[in-house]
Structure 1
Amino acid sequence: MIKLLIVFLIVLLLSVFIGLFANHDTGYVLIGRGYYTVELSLTLYVVLQLASFMSLYAIIRVGLKTWHMPTIIRRWKKRNQRQKAHSASNIGLMQLAQGQWKKAENTLIKSAKNSETPLLNYLSAARAAQKRNAPERRDEYLELAQNQVTKNKTKNEFAIQITQAELQIAHGQFDNAKALLKNLKQLKPNHPQVLFLLFQLYSKQKDFDPLLDILPHVRKLKLVPNDELTAVELELYRYALKKLKDQTASEITKFWKIIPKNCQKNDSLFQLYAHLLIDKNKHDAANNLLKTRLKISWNEDLILLYGDIASNVPVAQLEFAETFLNKYEKNHCLLLTLGKLAKRCELWGKARSYLEASIGSKARRETYRELGALLEQLGEYKTAAKCFRDGLFLDQKITIAPTLKLVNFNSTE
């Protein structure tokens, strides 16, 4: 439109100029050939020349257009096909997002040939085929995507292989995915999607050793929700601590210190660490840890574990445990622990009272065993045998427990 307006203005200006020029001096042009002559006014001659030039130009333009018409039609047809393919690809991607796997797969494949981004079509179609549990078609589309790689070859191949690994994990082809992702990690060690897929893969396979290597990067890049990451971390660190059972106490403690604080707060993981210290005869260290922990977070498992500690200060241990009587006086776990600690302090009467009170609150095999051993030590063999028997058949039928009597827990007997 702008070009047409410019041409119109130029013609108008030329017309005005020629008109003014002709009005001032018409002039003439004489053309002769043999016996023939033609005389024209200068104005008419200029007009005829311009008209001839424009006619010739128009004829040439029409001729060229006609000559190139097949090419123009092909270009128009191709552009029209691309526009339709672009529209169809968008529809296919929308169908994929809406979970219409079959429609999405068909739409994306049909429009891939004329699409400006066939690579995207084939990768998206592979996802749709994966959702339809069709691994053969999925691999076929991935191969077609691979054939589309031309420019940015390395970058495009990387994207295709990431998609392939993701779909293989979803289909349970873990070994294939693992081999592929290991190669990708060598190319780009800190690539977020590669690390995320490896995290998923190792978690599913319980392959904790390599998972331990990538975990700091996964946490740093925030690739996984905190709840999910913490659950995997706890399982991982539990596995790692169990592997350290043959190591020295210093090695175990060194590893514990690198565990994130939020995981150290987990009671189950903390108990495992304390158990390992006890197994390594680091009773005083375990005693200090459990005392601190019990003040913050009291629970039955921790108080039972506290009873397994044979520290160098058993009386202080017993006195600390007795501080919980005001709040948990009838708790069978606390009473069992107090009975075991009182035995170590050789307070036989107090130990017996605690153990009998524990059985009265809730019978446990371990409590019967502790009480039976104490009664044997005191020479009450018949009562001890009855305790052992009652503990042995506890799951089938609990026989009458030893007669319980009210005692003063502050007694030093």
Structure 2
Amino acid sequence: MRRLLWFLLILLLAIGIGLLLRQDTGYALMSWAGWSVEMSLAMLAVFLLLGLTVLYYLLRLLRGLFRMPRRLRAGLRSWRRRRARRALTRGLIDLAEGRWQTAEKTLGRTAEDSETPLINYLVAARAAQLQGAHQRRDVYLKNAYEQTPSATVAVLLTQAELQLAHGQHEHALATLRRLQELSPGHRFGLRLLARAYQAVEDWASLHQILPQLRRQDVFRREEMETIERDCFRRLLQQRGSEGRHDVVAELWQKVPRRLRREQGLYRDYIRALLATDAQQTAERAIEDYLKAEWDIELVLLYGALEGGDPARRLKRAEDWLRYHPQDPSLLLSLARLCVRNELWGKARQYLDQSLTLEPSPDGFEELGRLLEHLGEQDRAATAYRQGLELAVRRQVGEPGTQAPIVPSPR
């Protein structure tokens, strides 16, 4: 369009000059150093036009020569970027198809020419990780950070994810703590941090970030409940081993109500109470739970309780027997409670019923101990042998030999 306008302008100018010269041709006289030249104005105009045209194209040629190196560099850079784009696509395909060495080589070689070097370096780091080349992985991550400092969060997330996958849990924690300083509450960062705490079994730190995990919906509801449950179970085990009842009680109050009635978690709570010698609290807690839901593990733990009032516990357990007359675990616990109350005949009766319904190593051990106390050494030895044989069969996985086993009171 611009060329057409210039052409029309020049054409109009030429027509105008032609009309002027037609009215008065005139002439021009030029003299220099004894030389003189005379010509018509029309001829002078033609020479001037030709001269200006030559000068214009000469200047354009000179400008093109001066710009040629820059144009060559720009062309080469453009070619390299096109090659880098093709290499990025090819590298991603190689990575997806399992050609990790080829992917790393392709992406790492063309990263500096790429319009997105960050992606090249991050994907190359993953390819190196999949080959077990963790030093090269770290070099790519360092290059990614130096190339794009504004993408520090993305680099740290990738680094932490790869470190976790490689089992470098402590390194991953250090990376994620730095990430939390730069971007507190980052959703994916919190997810990785939770996994890292699980890996190093730092349940106290995991407990601290549980509110953030819930508030930001970092995990699906089912997965979140599993994490919470596992965290509180491990914390109960740790606090129980510390031997402080007040710490266990304080922790239990922090357990969400929706989780408190879950069997596994409640059992760990009872065991933690027993580990801190809070026998009476454990006794009340077991009785409270069994009012609403029957659980044979808690029944066995109830029979293993020490101290307090064993006669009261025996009466309570016999009340349960009316509703669960064929429960071998309850019968075993009743036998133990009878032993504590020195009701030897009744204890033997309950043991016989329990072993008839479901033979168990614990039941035979309890029977052997009772017979030994009663002076029936041969029968006691037989009971011990039967319990040992049953335990061995269970260890090798024979069918029909699964039953709960808890330590017997001594």
TM-score in terms of structure 1 length? 0.73
Is residue 2:206 matched to residue 1:214? no
1:393 partner amino acid: R
**Contact 2:156-2:175 within 8 A present in 1 as well:** yes
Identity of aligned residues (%): 30
Name 2:28's counterpart in structure 1. 32
Structure 1 segment 320-335 matched on structure 2, within 5 A: 320-325=319-324, 329-335=325-331
The superposition leaves residues 299-347 of structure 1 with CA deviations (integer Å, 9 ceiling, x where unpaired) of: 321222233456695476235413432xxx3331122234455677898
- Gaps in structure 1 of 5+ consecutive residues: 399-413
Structure 1 segment 130-279 matched on structure 2, within 5 A: 130-146=129-145, 148-149=146-147, 153=149, 155-224=150-219, 230-245=225-240, 246=242, 248-261=244-257, 263-278=259-274
**Contact 1:335-1:357 within 8 A present in 2 as well:** yes
3-state SS of 1:32 partner: strand
**Which of 376, 382, 386 is the equivalent residue of 1:394?**
386
**Contact 2:153-2:183 within 8 A present in 1 as well:** no
Identify if the C-alpha distance between structure 1 residues 36 and 241 changes in structure 2 by more than 3 Å, giving closer, same or farther: closer
Identify if the C-alpha distance between structure 1 residues 376 and 87 changes in structure 2 by more than 3 Å, giving closer, same or farther: closer
Name 2:406's counterpart in structure 1. none
Distance 1:350 1:28 in 2: 148
1:103 partner amino acid: T
Identify if the C-alpha distance between structure 1 residues 24 and 231 changes in structure 2 by more than 3 Å, giving closer, same or farther: same
What number of residue pairs does the alignment pair up?
A: 381
CA RMSD of aligned residues (A): 4.1
2:201 partner amino acid: K
1:119 partner amino acid: L
Distance 1:17 1:75 in 2: 39
Structure 1 segment 7-406 matched on structure 2, within 5 A: 7-9=3-5, 11-12=7-8, 15=11, 27-28=23-24, 30-33=26-29, 37-40=38-41, 53-146=52-145, 148-149=146-147, 153=149, 155-224=150-219, 230-245=225-240, 246=242, 248-261=244-257, 263-278=259-274, 285-287=281-283, 289-294=285-290, 296-308=292-304, 314=313, 317-318=316-317, 320-325=319-324, 329-340=325-336, 353-364=349-360, 366-367=362-363, 381-382=374-375, 388-396=380-388
Distance 1:8 1:130 in 2: 61
**Contact 1:314-1:344 within 8 A present in 2 as well:** no
- Gaps in structure 2 of 5+ consecutive residues: 31-35, 391-410
Identify if the C-alpha distance between structure 1 residues 26 and 264 changes in structure 2 by more than 3 Å, giving closer, same or farther: farther
Distance 2:340 2:170 in 1: 54
3-state SS of 1:363 partner: coil
Distance 2:375 2:163 in 1: 66
TM-score in terms of structure 2 length? 0.74
1:102 partner amino acid: Q
Distance 1:348 1:392 in 2: 18
**Contact 1:241-1:252 within 8 A present in 2 as well:** yes
